Structure 1
Amino acid sequence: MSFIIRKALFTDVTAIVQLERAHVDDELSGSDNQLHAHSFTKSEVGQLINQHWFMVAEVQGQIIGYVMAARWSFFSAQPLYRHIIQKIKFAELAGQALSTTNSCQYGPVWIQESKRGQGVFAALVSELKKQVNTSFPFMVTYVAADNARSLAAHQQKAAMTQIDQFRFEQRDYCLLATSTADVIS
């Protein structure tokens, strides 16, 4: 499969919001029917595109995946992210202390199910790291501890390292970080 990775454009907002809604619906249909992040509004996606980092994967004009990163201030009103921000104050990666000033929140990332396992994830994250690297040396994310496939993808295809574990609203999570200089080809 041939695909391109590019920066999201404001004209992509409607398609991204539809994909985000489908992604949230998929997560809610899981075994525990819990979701601790929220689905982005058109306004929020527009803000992410214009003020943060948002990459899309495209095949023949159709968006088949996306990944984004944002400054911590974008997420700071949400309880889960406030909890993560507190955890970061005591975290480090490769001997370097992490903070809200030297890292950003990475994710979510979503790939159309039929396109998974074809290099889209690694290509999206690699391009995102290149874009973020000029502003932050680190990206931090969280993955549900029971999501073995996502953990493996982040560790193997995005060069992410587990730096902590935490529990939030009766669900366990792994806190992961990566250097934006670590681009996997």
Structure 2
Amino acid sequence: MPEVKYDIARSRKDLEAILALQRANLPARLTEPEARREGFVTVEHDLDLLTRMNTPHPHIVARAAGEIIGYALVMGREMAKSIPILLDMFEQINAIVYRGRRLGQSRYVVMGQICIAKAWRGKGIFAGLYEEMARRLSGHFDYIITEIALRNTRSMRAHEKAGFENILEYRGATGEDWAIVLLDISGRRA
């Protein structure tokens, strides 16, 4: 297999490759057993939204032989109103008291979605994407926070293995059960 390199999304072509990988991993494209076994992504973005999310902190990508084989989307809290399904999450995050301080008053960024191409799963790319994200963002933020559907057991295990702490579980407005997980990157100054 070709060497994997971690980078940022730099072009429209990169963003289109992210969208193609995302579409292939939406629940509607997977069988129920496949979604349970392999994991899935919940939100479908469009090119305009993905482009806006890519500034000021670009998305993190994994490349092999020049092709994007994985991504982790960076989403500042200013994007909260752009994705209605995520409003609950931002409200929950901002209300959580973590280490004696309300997260809404802290320096956090949301990892909006992570996905690895099926052929590349189980090869450390998930951890590599988060390591690259922490390296690039630790000077700007103290925490990376994301939300995972509790039924997405593969993603729950992978985030735990990557060092994320489950800080809240709640039922969203759609009836889905969610976990909000946090990775402390405050000690990793770039």
Aligned partner letter, 1:130:
R
1:143 paired with 2:143, answer: no
Aligned partner letter, 1:150:
S
Given the alignment, which residue of 149, 162, 169 partners 1:165?
Answer: 169
For residues 44 and 77 of structure 1, the distance between their equivalents in structure 2, rounded to whole angstroms, comes to 8
Given the alignment, which residue of 34, 59, 62 partners 1:57?
Answer: 62
1:182–1:173: structure 2 CA closer, same or farther, 3 Å change rule?
farther
User: Which residues of structure 1 form unaligned runs of 5+?
Assistant: none
For residues 110 and 63 of structure 1, the distance between their equivalents in structure 2, rounded to whole angstroms, comes to 11
Partner of 2:186: 181
Partner of 1:119: 124
Given the alignment, which residue of 87, 90, 93 partners 2:92?
Answer: 87
1:181 deviates by 3.4
Q: After the TM superposition, which residues 5-154 of structure 1 pair with which residues of structure 2 at under 5 Å, given as runs?
A: 5-10=6-11, 11-24=13-26, 27-28=27-28, 29-31=30-32, 37-99=42-104, 102-154=107-159
1:16 deviates by 1.7
For residues 150 and 31 of structure 2, the distance between their equivalents in structure 1, rounded to whole angstroms, comes to 14
1:6–1:104: structure 2 CA closer, same or farther, 3 Å change rule?
same
Q: CA RMSD in A?
A: 2.4
1:89 deviates by 2.9
User: Where does structure 1 differ by over 6 angstroms across 4 or more consecutive aligned residues?
Assistant: none
Q: What TM-score, normalized to structure 1?
A: 0.85
User: Which residues of structure 2 form unaligned runs of 5+?
Assistant: none
**In the alignment, is the contact (CA less than 8 A) between 2:145 and 2:181 conserved in 1?**
yes
**In the alignment, is the contact (CA less than 8 A) between 1:92 and 1:163 conserved in 2?**
no
